Structure 1
């Protein structure tokens, strides 16, 4: 098609732009979730009740998974779609589990919200991969 590099159509360019925008939105949501989960985990007592320990463990796990997902999404190299899908699906699942744990802890509403926002961004990005 004239005017477009390598014969890429306008529709293909628009799909690529949407893919990149959703990938970036997912990475941003992962970064924010990781930040809030790490903060929340640091506030939970190490030797506190079982629910505080679970909150801390889930917060740390969620922060690490979100951080790894953000890094994977930010890579400039071409990744296999299956690997990217697996990473984002794992992130979504961990975020939803963590949100449920945060829901049971007074004062953790912001963490639960960040986890759900991240899971939603992951879901939206996954829709582009299917």
Structure 2
């Protein structure tokens, strides 16, 4: 059971080093989500909404990824109590959407940095889930 004022996954037996790692991974994940959201929003805005069906799919994927990453960052930034299962579900959703978006961007000229941001975000979500235990 988490102690009052501590994040989920932290118990009375949690060492200061484990707490530090937890908070560091949470912050790193939130930063990666923010960067991914920015990169996806910028990339989506560069694609013509009246373009090919493939371009429209990639544009929609970028917008969705930006929204999911933004929601994940906001969740990770909240200071109130959150249940660990809810955090896990959000992180897995963000990881999955980021991977899919990176794959969609892979086929687009000039989208390399956005694809990389998506992969960094997916990795950060995975790393943070490990920290949750």
TM-score, with length taken from structure 1: 0.91
TM-score, with length taken from structure 2: 0.89
Name the SS for the 1:46 alignment partner.
coil
Structure 1 residues 71-91: Cα deviation after superposition (integer angstroms, max 9, x where no partner): 000000110000000000000
Instruction: Tell me which protein shows more helix as a share of its residues.
Output: 1
Name the SS for the 1:47 alignment partner.
coil
Q: How many residues align?
A: 122
The corresponding residue for 1:61 is: 64
The corresponding residue for 2:39 is: 36
Structure whose CA Rg is larger: 1
The corresponding residue for 2:73 is: 70
Runs of 4+ in 1 over 3 A off after TM superposition: none
Unaligned runs of 5+ in 2: 1-11
Query: How far does residue 18 in structure 1 lie from its aligned partner after superposition?
Result: 0.4
1:4-15 matched pairs, under 5 angstroms: 12-15=15-18
